[in-house]
Every structure is written in C-alpha cells, then in structure tokens.
Amino acid sequence: MTYKPIKDKASQLNLVVSLIKKAKSVVVATDAGREGEAIAWLVLDHAGWRGPTQRLWTSSLTPTSLAKATKALQDDAAHKPKYTAARLRSAIDWMDGMNWSRYYNIRCTEYGDKTLSLGRVQTATLALIVDRDHAIENFKPQDYYELKATMNVPEGVLELFHAPKDEARIFDKDKADAIAAACRGKTVPLEVTKKPKTFSPPPPYSLPELQIHTSSLWGWSSDKTLEVLQKLYEAGAVTYPRTDTGHLLDEMKTDMPKHLAALQKRPQYRSLATMQPTFHKSVFNDKKVGDHHGIITTEEAVDISRLGPEAEHLFDLVARRFLACLMPEAEGSTTSIRAKIEGHLFSTSGTTITVRGWKAAWDGLGDPDEKKGGDDGDGDSDAGAKDAPTSNRILPPVKDGQPATAEKVDVLTKTTKPPPHFTEGTIIKAMMGAGAKNPDAEIRDLLSNGGLGTGATRQEIIKKLKMREFVVVSKKKLLSTPRARELLAIIRADGNRLCDVLATADLERELRSIEKDPAAAQGVWKKYLGGLNAEMARLKQGRAPRKLTPVATRPSGYGKKPGKAGGARRSGSGQSAKKRVRA
C-alpha cells in the first residue's frame, strides 16, 4: 500500500517533513494506541525517517499527566508493531469496501440507482438493525400468567409475587388458577432479609454513553452529539471527546481540585464543587483507560453561553456526571421478603436510599442513568410495571419468621413483548456490545475492546447507513428499508462474511498476532488476498443476484461534498494522505 499527499494539504505536510529532516531525534506524541501510532509513522515513513524515536505514552492530556509522561519517554520500538497492525487493518478494510461495494453495485443495481456501500463495520451494523426489525415483525405476542398474593399482616399491605422467568413462565391459565386456589388462605412464615447497601457513582461519560443518553433524553443523533461536544472541546470547556472509556487515571487525582475550582465559578455548580473530592475505584482505574480517559470538564472556566443552548445543555450533563463521580457513595438498604406457599415461591424486594451522596448531583433534574432504561432490551418483558415483583416501593416493616396469611391470590395476565426498535443511542450500545453474548470465550475477548467500530467512527457509520437509505429515522426509531433487507438477504445467501460481527473478531485475532510478531503481517495479507480472490471468483461463476428494488428519491445529503475539517479523507484519522492499494 502506498500513500499520496492530498493536494490542499501538501504544503502543510511538506513543512512537517522539512522539520523531520532537520531533526536528530523524534518523539511520537499521538494517541496511545494502534491508530495513533499509524498517524505518526505514516508521516515519518513519508519523510524517510530512520533516526532514534521515542514515545510519549499517555491517555491523559492534563498538564500534570503530560509532564509525567514527558519525563518517562519510552523507546518507540516497543510500540511500532501497532503501526504495522493498524496499516494492515486499514488495507483490509479498504480492500473489502472497494471490492465488495463495486461487486454488489454492478450485480444488484441498474444505471441511475443509488450507490451501495459495504464494509466490515457498516454491513454488520446494518445486519443488527435488519435482524431486530425482522424479530419485531415476526413476533407473536403470547399471554402468560403471574400471581399476586396479598398477605394479611398487621404492619400494612404486603404484596408478594409468583413470577417465574423465561421457560418457567406459566402459559396455561388453568394451571395459574389452580395454583391461586391452592395458595389462598394458607398461613406461612415470611423470610425477610435486609442488608445495608452502598451505591458507587458511575465514572464520567465516554462518547458512546453520552450519545446513548442524549438520544434517550433529547432525541439527538449520534452525529449531532459529537458535533456539539466538539464545539465544547474546541472552546476548552471539556476534555477530548472521542473516547470509548469513561474511567480516569490514578495520576489525575491531584488535578481534581483544579477542575472543581473552575466549576465553582459557575453558580449552578458552586455548592457541589466546593466539596472535598472522594476517589472511587469505580472511577479511577488505569486498567480500564484506553487511548483516552473519560470526558470531564477542564481546569478553565470557559464562557460557553456564546455556543448556544444546546452546548449549555450538553455541558451540564458532562459537568454533573463529573461532579457525581467525585462525591461520596449513596447509602441505603435492600429488603427482600419471600414466602413459600404450597411449594410455590412468592417474593418482593425494595431499595431505600437514606443518604443521597453522589445522587444529589442530579437533584431536581433526574439521573439520566435512571431515565434511559427500558428502550434497548431484547423484549419479552413484563407488561405491568406497577405489578413488578421488584421495585422501589415502600415495604411494611415485617420481621423474619413472622406468620402471614395469603388473604387474596390474584392471577395477573401479562403479554410477551417484542424487542424495541433501535434508536441512535441503543444501536451504539449494541455495536459496543456486539459479540458479548457469544458462547465462545475467545470471541468475547476479541470483541471486548469496543465491539463494532470506535468512538470516533460509530456515528459516521450510522450517518452513512442513513445517507444510503439503508435505514430511515421515524420518531427516533431506526428502521431498515426494503432495499437494505434485500441487500442483506443477498449477501447472506452468498455467504459473505461482512454481515457477521465475527469478521471483526477474526481481524482482531490477526492484528493481535501482528502486534506480537510484525513479520506475520505479510502472511496475513497474502492469506486475506487469497481468500478475497477465491470468493470473488466463486461468486462470479454463479448466478447473478437479483436486482434490488430501485429507490425513488435520493437520500438526504447524497452527493454533497464531505466537510473539509481535519485535513484527511479518512474519518477521525487526521492523516494528510490518501491511499492507493495495489492488489
């Protein structure tokens, strides 16, 4: 693979190259990861650099962290294999996109149809959406039954529930009626367990989690969230936005008073920001920090009013989440009450918060973590929340071993529910968790570092799916189009690996091997090209796929020139080069 400078960036690149040629040594200070290593070495290779190279390796850009990393520069030779892995990843993704997009455009579209595009992350993400839509459409609701026993206790009303899960659910009404009849009037001892509980605050936001919350709270697209967050970052109000982790580094603890001092200058945060910070293991964890730490407010009290109300709303989310992570734990207790009636377990539980702790950061506003639930599960959930066996309800102060009589036992009719449609927030969550439920432990491990895509690319993938009109947005829901379903059916019938998240797992396995032994890259590349050519040859010999149903109108934004921000033709890379691949 070779690279050629982009014309309007050539002068900037030439300036950097001229400085490199004068240097006696170079320090690589790009992001601490594969792609950061690639950004540096693409330029260094272009300049012909072969001199001594050191690495500034840090996930934090605070002055304290940068000073510490500068005093502990590493030999970049230990990190350069990441560059080899990143280049191979880039080459394989480029070859897949160019070859498979051209193949299916030629064989599945007519002249004048909208352009198709395929890719390892894009097509697997589309498959998630299409499969979810099929699951919803093919879902057949089914009634099932739970039982509610009203127990006669002097302390007040006590309701216990018999609510078997999954395969143990009761789908036979006669069976439910028989259990209810057998349990009515029976007196049994209560099993009461009460335990004190502390609730640790969540870490600061990662970009994906912030996108999930803004989608749920305000219906924002993932692209819009990053756009507004980028404005805050460029204004100096928040730290680096494109991060997949929310955790902070231990070394950042000493800087926290400076961050709080900046928030004290804002009236709405003054009472919270004057606290003595509490450092939680759930927040400060070096092992969970990737290329960048979580998104927090900076040490500067920047005037963000000029950025508009949307920026102010987003800053408020980031600031309160950051303040919460430095506040004491919330305290309370959990109570579980159980009774075995005629061999059937009835139970309920409740949680009581006695000390607000970090939850006070959201007082009067509502914690987004509590608001966002319920829209991204797999469906088949209980229809009646008010009759849920577990809730924050107030329970009567009954004692362990206390006898109670089932005065009433009612049969509750519930209905299974389909999974919900994806939103922009929940598809990001699904992309991050892709492969997490795979029974193969190796696959789970290979996909544990973000699943499909990265914090810098997921919103671009979603944007592209909308631009191609593979998906449309209706009332915040992402819905697959007939065109997308037809294409996915065709490529699955072809046995194409791009629609499966396992393609990402397989690639990650190869990249990890290259990081251990860069010499393996050539063999991996040859193996990949051999497989691609063989697959193309096999498909060309077979019957041509049917043509897709034409789309009547061009998608929104189709044909517009890409934005010029960044200086690269690869999203999020910052590279001043474009690739030429020779197969």
pLDDT of residue 545: 65
177 by DSSP, 3-state: which?
helix
One-character DSSP codes across 3-38: EEE-GGGHHHHHHHHHHHHH-S-EEE-S-SSHHHHH
What tens digit of pLDDT does each residue of 488-547 get? 999 999 999 999 999 999 999 999 999 999 999 999 999 999 999 999 998 888 776 667
pLDDT of residue 388: 53
User: Does residue 448 have a pLDDT over 90?
Assistant: no
What tens digit of pLDDT does each residue of 559-571 get? 444 333 333 333 3
CA 170 to the chain's CA centroid: 35
d(CA 117, CA 135): 24
50-56-61 Cα angle (round to 5): 145
pLDDT of residue 157: 86
Q: How confident is the model at residue 101 (pLDDT cuts 50, 70, 90)?
A: very high
d(CA 411, CA 146): 6
pLDDT of residue 505: 92
pLDDT of residue 126: 97
Residue 158 CA: distances (Å) to CA of 142, 351, 384, 411 = 29, 15, 18, 16
The verdict on domain 218-328 having CATH code 1.10.290.10 is yes
Helix (H) or strand (E) holding 53: strand 53-55
User: Does residue 427 have a pLDDT over 90?
Assistant: yes
What tens digit of pLDDT does each residue of 123-142 get? 999 999 999 999 999 999 99
- CATH code for 113-138+421-552? 1.10.460.10
pLDDT of residue 583: 34
pLDDT of residue 390: 55
Q: What is the largest CA-CA distance in the chain?
A: 92
Alpha helices in 297-423 (DSSP H): 309-325, 368-371
pLDDT of residue 384: 40
pLDDT of residue 383: 39
Computed over every residue of the chain, the mean pLDDT equals: 87
- Spatial contact of 432 and 391, defined as CB atoms under 8 Å apart: no
In the chain, where the domains are located: 1-78+555-583, 113-138+421-552, 143-200+333-415, 218-328
Q: How confident is the model at residue 339 (pLDDT cuts 50, 70, 90)?
A: very high
Catalytic residues: 240
Q: How confident is the model at residue 380 (pLDDT cuts 50, 70, 90)?
A: low
- Spatial contact of 312 and 254, defined as CB atoms under 8 Å apart: no
d(CA 572, CA 456): 6
Mean pLDDT along residues 110-129: 89
Q: How confident is the model at residue 424 (pLDDT cuts 50, 70, 90)?
A: very high
User: Does residue 373 have a pLDDT over 70?
Assistant: no
Q: Say what angle helices 458-467 and 120-137 make with each other, to 10 degrees.
A: 70
341 by DSSP, 3-state: which?
strand
- Spatial contact of 338 and 191, defined as CB atoms under 8 Å apart: yes
What tens digit of pLDDT does each residue of 47-84 get? 999 999 999 998 877 777 788 899 999 999 999 999 99
Mean pLDDT along residues 144-153: 96
Q: What percent of the chain has pLDDT over 90?
A: 70
Q: Which fold has domain 143-200+333-415?
A: Topoisomerase I; domain 3 (2.70.20)
Q: Which fold has domain 1-78+555-583?
A: Rossmann fold (3.40.50)
pLDDT of residue 374: 43
- Token reading at 67: 């000073």
pLDDT of residue 389: 56
